[in-house]
Amino acid sequence: WGHAKCQYRILPFTSKEAEMEKNVRESLDKVDIVKMRRFAIRSARFMAACKLGLSGSQAVWANKKYHGHRVLPEHILNEL
**Predicted local confidence at residue 60, as pLDDT:** 85
**Predicted local confidence at residue 19, as pLDDT:** 92
Torsion angle of C-alpha atoms 38, 43, 49, 53, degrees rounded to 10? 170
pLDDT at 56 over 70: yes
**Predicted local confidence at residue 77, as pLDDT:** 64
Q: Identify whether residues 77 and 39 lie together within a single domain.
A: yes
Number of neighbours of residue 39 by Cβ within 10 angstroms = 14
pTM assigned to the model: 0.56
Q: Identify whether residues 71 and 50 lie together within a single domain.
A: yes
Q: Which domain, by its residues, includes 58?
A: 33-80
Q: Identify whether residues 26 and 40 lie together within a single domain.
A: no
**Predicted local confidence at residue 62, as pLDDT:** 81
The total of structural domains in the chain comes to 2
Q: Identify whether residues 59 and 41 lie together within a single domain.
A: yes
Q: Identify whether residues 20 and 54 lie together within a single domain.
A: no
Q: What is the pLDDT of residues 31-42, one digit of tens each?
A: 888 988 888 888
